[in-house]
Chains A and B, each alone.
Chain A
C-alpha cells in the first residue's frame, strides 16, 4: 500500500491482475537443477559428493562388467582371456567371466526340462501374458478375452506337466458340476446350501470320481502331451510357476480371510484369525520343510502328491495370510459411510462387498498387495533349500561343474537381474494402476 493509505483499512481493487509467467529461473532444466540439486551451499556440496561417489562406483564396476569373456568355456579360459587383454590387478585377473552365462543361461531358465519340449513352457508363458491382459489392462483389451483367462488355469498345468488331455478337461468338468449344483440348489432352496453342496459335489468329482473317468477316457482316446516329471522342473520356469500360482491364488484367498476376520460370525472370525496368526508366526522355510518331508508322513502310503504342488499350496497359504492383513488395512481405511451408503440402497452383504467396498479397499491396498506379490516371488528362491532346482539351486549345481568352480558374482548377478526385471515390472504396474484408479482427485 502506498503511504497515503498507510493508516486506512478500507481498500477496493479496481483492476484485477492478469496471470503472469513464472520467473525463468524456476522453470525448465535450470529451474529444476536449481531447485533440486543446488538449492543452497550445503545441498550443493552434497550433490557434488554424491556425484563423485557415483562416478567412483561406476568407474570400478563398468570395466568389470564389460569384459570380453562371453565365449570362454571355463573359468581358467576366462582368466587367460583377461590376462591377454591386460585386465590384471594385484589379486589376479579382474573382470567378469560371462562364459558361464553363455553356456548355462538356458539351464537357468528351464532347469532340466527336456530341451525338445521347451516350446511348452514358452507357449505357457505367452498364453499367460494373453490371459493376464484382460485382468491387468482391462480398458485396452477386448472384454471377451476374460473367458480365456478363466480357462488358462486348466491349460497351464497341462502344458507344463503334460499328460492326457482328459485331466484338465475333467478338472474343468468339476467346476461345471459344482456350478450347476449351486445354481439349481440356490434357486430351489437357498444360496448358502447351494454353495456348500456345490463345492462338495465338485470336490467329490475331483478327488473320487474324476480319476476313473480320466483313466477310462484316456484308455479309449489316448490324446495328450508327453509327460514331464516335476523333478525335471527348474530355473526361472519353476520360480515363475510357483510365483504365479501363489500370487493368483493368494489374492482371492486373502480377500476371503480379511472378510472372515471382520465377520460377525464368531467361529468364522476366530478360524480366520487363528489361520492368519499361525501362518504369519511361522517362517516360510518351516512350511516348506513340512511340505517336503512331514506331509508324506500324514498321507496314506502310496499317494503321490507332487512336490511342486505341495510347495505351491504352502506358498499360497503363506502369502494369503499376509495378503489378508494388507487388505484388512484397506478395509479399515474406508469410512463407515461407504458401508452405510451401500446398505441404505438395499445392496446385500456380498453385493456391497463386491461393488462398493472391495474396489475401494483393494485400491487403497495396491502398494501393500504388490509388495506382498514381490516378496512372494522372491521367496520362491527358498525352495532351493528343500532340493528343488530354482535358479539359486541351479547356481550351486553349476558351480559343482569343475569348469565353473569358483564363479559367484556372475551367476548371482544374472539371477538378480532377472528377478529385478520381473519385480520392477510389478512395481511399475502397481504405480500405473494407482494412477489409473485415482478418481477421487480433482
Chain B
C-alpha cells in the first residue's frame, strides 16, 4: 500500500490553500442510540485543503464526513459549512447538500437512469438548469473523467471503476465547492483503483477542497496536505503527510501504520 499511487508528476501550481474557512466543526458529538460514535470533534478545513482521514474501521471517520452533509445528524456541537450552520432547517440542509459533493463506497448511481441522466438529474431539478445546458455540463465532466462514450449506457453496464468515476462526475455537475469521498476505492478491484485515484488527483490539482476517507496511503502521501487519524470516535493525531508517516507521535497511530504499511 505504501507504493506510489501515480507515476506522473503532480502539478501543484493550483493547489493553494487560502485563509477562507470552508468547514468549521467545533465540539461536535454524535451518538448512535447510546453508543458514542463521535466525541468532541474539532476540525477547521480551509478552502483548497486536501484532507485524508484514516483510521481503523469503526473509528467514526465515515460518520464524520457524513455529518458534514447531514446524511447523519449530530446531536451536540456545531458544524458550519460555507458559512451556513447545519441545523434541522430543511432549507439549509438542501442548500449545503447542493454545495457539497459526495462519493460513496458503493457509488450509489441510480440504476434506472442512463449515465447522462444520472449526471443531469440534480442540476435540472435542484439548480433548475435548462436540460440542454445541464447535458453540456454533464458531457464536460464525463470527458474529464474520461468516459464520455458511455453517456447513454446504464450504470449496470459499466465496471466498478467507471461507475465511481461517473459518481464523481455526477457530483461535479452540481459545481460543488467541497468534495467528500467516503472510501471511494474500497469496493473496487485493484486494477480499477488507479483510474479512480487519478481522477481524484486531477480534482486536487484544480484546487478542489477535498475530504477523503481512504486506506490509500500512497494517495495520502502524494496529494493530501493534512492527514487525520481517528480512533474510537476521536481525532487522535493530525499532521502533514510527511511527518505523519515518518514520525507518528501517538502509539495508536504507530500501531495502525505498522499494520497497514507493514506488509
**A439 and B111 form a contact (CB under 8 A):** yes
A366 to chain B, nearest CB (A): 13
Interface segment out of the listed A13-21, A72-80, A348-356: A348-356
**B112 and A437 form a contact (CB under 8 A):** yes
Max chain B Cβ within 10 angstroms of own Cβ: one of A341, A342, A343: A341
A337-B106, A341-B104 as given contacts; A346 in contact with B112, CB under 8 Å: no
Q: Is B10 an interface residue (CB 8 A)?
A: no
**A442 and B156 form a contact (CB under 8 A):** yes
Q: Is B97 an interface residue (CB 8 A)?
A: yes
Majority SS of interface residues in chain B? mixed
Chain B residue numbers with a CB within 8 Å of A359 are 112
Q: Is B121 an interface residue (CB 8 A)?
A: yes
**B71 and A344 form a contact (CB under 8 A):** yes
B 107-147 contacts with A by CB, 8 A: 107-112, 121-122, 125-126
A380 to chain B, nearest CB (A): 33
Q: Is A435 an interface residue (CB 8 A)?
A: no
B 153-212 contacts with A by CB, 8 A: 154-157, 170-171, 174
Query: Which residue in A340, A345, A355, A356 is a CB contact (below 8 Å) of B170?
Result: A345
**A344 and B111 form a contact (CB under 8 A):** no
A441 to B107, CA, bound (A): 17
Query: Which residue in A338, A351, A437, A442 is a CB contact (below 8 Å) of B110?
Result: A338
**B174 and A346 form a contact (CB under 8 A):** yes
A338-B110, A340-B71, A356-B110 as given contacts; A345 in contact with B121, CB under 8 Å: yes
**B125 and A355 form a contact (CB under 8 A):** yes
CB 8 Å contact bits of B18-41 with A (1 = contact, 0 = none): 000000000000000000000000
Chain B residue with Cβ nearest A346? B98
**A346 and B122 form a contact (CB under 8 A):** yes
**B104 and A340 form a contact (CB under 8 A):** yes
Query: Which residue in B101, B107, B122, B157 is a CB contact (below 8 Å) of A442?
Result: B157
Chain A residue numbers with a CB within 8 Å of B220 are none
Query: Which residue in B100, B112, B122 is a CB contact (below 8 Å) of A439?
Result: B112
A 322-350 contacts with B by CB, 8 A: 335, 337-338, 340-348
Chain B residue numbers with a CB within 8 Å of A345 are 97-98, 121-122, 126, 170-171, 174
A345 to B171, CA, bound (A): 7
B123 to chain A, nearest CB (A): 9
Chain A residue with Cβ nearest B121? A355
Q: Is A363 an interface residue (CB 8 A)?
A: yes
B 32-86 contacts with A by CB, 8 A: 69, 71
A338 to B98, CA, bound (A): 16
Chain A residue numbers with a CB within 8 Å of B101 are 344
Chain A residue with Cβ nearest B123? A345
Chain A residue numbers with a CB within 8 Å of B94 are 346-348
Chain A residue with Cβ nearest B98? A346
Chain B interface, number of residues (Cβ within 8 angstroms): 29
A348 to B126, CA, bound (A): 8
Q: Is A296 an interface residue (CB 8 A)?
A: no
**A343 and B156 form a contact (CB under 8 A):** no
Chain A residue numbers with a CB within 8 Å of B69 are 343-344
Chain B residue with Cβ nearest A336? B108
Chain B residue numbers with a CB within 8 Å of A338 are 108, 110
**A346 and B126 form a contact (CB under 8 A):** yes
Q: Is A187 an interface residue (CB 8 A)?
A: no
A158 to B134, CA, bound (A): 44
A337 to B126, CA, bound (A): 19
CB 8 Å contact bits of A94-134 with B (1 = contact, 0 = none): 00000000000000000000000000000000000000000
Chain A residue numbers with a CB within 8 Å of B102 are 344
Q: Is A427 an interface residue (CB 8 A)?
A: no
Q: Is A71 an interface residue (CB 8 A)?
A: no
A346 to B170, CA, bound (A): 12
**A343 and B125 form a contact (CB under 8 A):** no
A437 to B90, CA, bound (A): 33
B187 to chain A, nearest CB (A): 11
Chain A residue with Cβ nearest B97? A346
Q: Is A440 an interface residue (CB 8 A)?
A: yes
Q: Is A186 an interface residue (CB 8 A)?
A: no
A420 to B171, CA, bound (A): 50
**B156 and A347 form a contact (CB under 8 A):** no
A355 to B117, CA, bound (A): 11
A143 to chain B, nearest CB (A): 14
A223 to chain B, nearest CB (A): 43
**A440 and B111 form a contact (CB under 8 A):** yes
Q: Is A232 an interface residue (CB 8 A)?
A: no
Chain A residue with Cβ nearest B95? A346
A342 to B102, CA, bound (A): 11
A439 to B152, CA, bound (A): 12
A14 to chain B, nearest CB (A): 25
**A343 and B97 form a contact (CB under 8 A):** yes
**B112 and A347 form a contact (CB under 8 A):** no
Please name the 9 residue pairs, one residue from A and one from B, whose CB atoms are nearest each other, closest first.
A346-B98, A341-B108, A345-B122, A337-B108, A346-B97, A440-B156, A344-B102, A439-B154, A440-B111
20 CB contacts below 8 A, A to B, read A335-B106, A335-B108, A337-B104, A344-B69, A344-B108, A344-B171, A346-B98, A347-B94, A347-B122, A347-B125, A348-B94, A355-B125, A356-B121, A359-B112, A439-B112, A439-B154, A440-B111, A440-B155, A441-B156, A442-B156
Having A344-B71, A356-B110, A440-B111, one finds 5 other A-B pairs with CB under 8 Å, namely A337-B108, A338-B110, A341-B104, A356-B121, A437-B112
